[in-house]
Chain A
Amino acid sequence: MILKGRAWPTELWDDPWKLPRYRRGARMLAGLSLGALAAAVGVGELGPWLKFADAELAFASAALGLPDEAVDAAWILVKVAAVVAVFVAAPVVIVWWERKISAHMQSRFGPMRTGGFHGWLQTVADGIKLLLKENITPAQADSWVHRLAPAVALVPALVCFAPVSFGQALCAADIDIGTLYVFAMAGVSVMGIMMAGWGSGNKYSLLGGLRSAAQLVSYELPRTFSVVPVIMFAGSLNLTRIVAAQQDYWFGFLPKWFIFYPVVGQLAFVLFLIASVAETNRTPFDIPEAESELVSGFHTEYSGIKFSLFFMAEYGYMLLSCFLLATFFLGGGSAPLPFLKFIPSWAWFFGKSTLLIFCFLWFRWTFPRLRVDRLMDFNWKFLLPWSFANIAFAGLCLLF
């Protein structure tokens, strides 16, 4: 018989752990965690080394009689390189992870071949493929706008990572207006998407660009306002100080994370999470690129390296959103319980961010897409009023 020897889903359903593919899935998850940990170690342990390098650099320059500016310039370059390394490496891991998670949600395997272990090199291979592909500019396109758009979308995403504090004393630029800076820079990316929509010379791109402009500009508001209570409680816009304000514990065990502030904290967290999903153009808010409606939205006409720049910008923003969520609401690098403080702060930070990234992926592969006018309604009639109300709650809390 044709069916002989072939596993029917019934058999899988009875005892999902009986079959090797599920064991493989479990092993895969363990491997993922280890990989994430290893990546985090790489970044986290960089801190002390950077300090050491800084000292060495200062010493060397003093010995050579160079001005202090030279040390600063070299030091900035090192920091930029470190942040860019995170920015470039993270999408590679996240994309692979997204593929595996979505596959297991949909009873598939996902990539299994490239690299040997569960296709872990698949994203790298795809990245190389995208780099080598022909760089196409459509005849109808506004050539310069078309070419500039990916850069305009990507650079702000990159710049946004500067003030993020990856753990204690792990911050590329400890700016006092860090929060404001991040939101301001993230807002610039809309320009890139609109340029892509306009410059592609494609009607679907144009529609996607328009939708995107409307959506991103609208969701900036609740996203920013939902953080205002956090800033009020922390008393600073500086991301490092916001983290520092969450270090303590109530009653000795409950961390003073903003998400644990009764009502205000949870509301702010949910509002910020929803707005962040919308800002990163991911399902259920992936309206600018809704593939069933607008083919691919603003990046319909992009391929090869230009497409991968957009792609990196999207994943960069997703990563940034998770970092910000961890920073604002989950205490950044602080340990959830006092006796866990021996684990370094960067490990907590990346652990929390990874969990949030998983939430983003989970949403994407579970929810359908909202309609564009409903999306606007949701923003202006639900998110924004509640974020204002939340500021009022926070004010009342601080007053009494």
Chain B
Amino acid sequence: MSVEEVLARLFSQFPKADKAAAAVRDYPTVQLKEPSDLVPAVQLLKEEFGFAYLDMVTAVDWKGPVDMRGYLQEPNPNIFRPSGAPPRESAKPAPGLARDAMTVVYALSSLSEGLKIFLKIDVPREGAKLPSLTGLFNSADWQEREAFDLLGISFEGHPNLKKILTPDFLEGHPLRKDYVHVKDRFDVSNPPDDVGSIRPNLRRLGDLDA
């Protein structure tokens, strides 16, 4: 069984699936278009080709560069300068990357053949939903919970879709690019009203005024 065979079978069964434009280097990467294709495609891989090992479930938010307010502290603080670190060069992402979508990435392995295949599927950022793979792999349980917690993708059919890593009081999904941290009782730094006066470099980044 070679990767080509697997891919050919996959593409014939799911005509909307295609090789992903942004492939994971050195690994076969399949882009699925329809959320309804996900479970059957994974089932096909698992049952016919022995991809019985779900390696990884994660997602990427393509909204663009991160919102600096998502961080508790300024990046690269330079304590030797009274004014803090100089403002960072604003990130210039490659054109065409930013879009209003998230990509959920699955890595499946065939332990007997030593093959690994990546599946990608795009979901809208608002109300991101996907069918859960917990029926096929037990390891999807926590990994999907993690993706739910950090990126806010709800997996339908998951038996126990709760927060897993972040504390209960934390609102929002930290790995979304527009996440803004709301100060809570565990933040030792100054109250939100006078952030700017004490952290001038944060103000200089221009993000607090927005």
In the complex, is A directly touching B at CB under 8 Å?
no
A residues contacting B by CB (< 8 A) are: none
